């Protein structure tokens, strides 16, 4: 699953992609755990960015309301 996802997201040729897989498999468990950690961090980052956007929108509304007489 992860292999296909990486292949779709990157715009590099398949040869380079295969070399990457070999280097990861040489590392073994460490590489796999790092992939999971990166995916988790990316999900958390998306959640935080959405939360910050909502917060900014709310603060913007408050500012507009306070500026009106």
Q: In sequence order, what DSSP letters do the residues of 16-64 get, joined into one string?
A: HHHHHHHHHHHHTHHHHHHHHHHHHHHHHHHHHHHHHHHHHHHHHHHHH
CB neighbour list of residue 51: distance below 8 Å, 6 or more residues apart: none
Q: Report pTM.
A: 0.24
pLDDT by residue for the chain (69 residues), tens only, comes to: 455 555 555 555 555 555 555 555 545 555 555 556 666 666 666 666 777 777 777 776 655 555 555
Q: Which pLDDT does position 52 carry in this prediction?
A: 74
Q: Which pLDDT does position 44 carry in this prediction?
A: 66
Q: Which pLDDT does position 1 carry in this prediction?
A: 47
Q: Which pLDDT does position 51 carry in this prediction?
A: 72
Contact 51, 58 (CB under 8 A): no
């Amino acid at each position: 699953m992860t292999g296909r996802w990486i292949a779709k997201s990157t715009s590099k040729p398949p040869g380079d992609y295969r070399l990457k897989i070999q280097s990861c498999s040489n590392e073994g468990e460490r590489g796999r755990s790092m992939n999971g950690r990166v995916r988790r961090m990316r999900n958390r980052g998306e959640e935080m960015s959405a939360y910050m956007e909502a917060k900014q929108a709310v603060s913007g509304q408050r500012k507009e309301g306070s500026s009106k007489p």
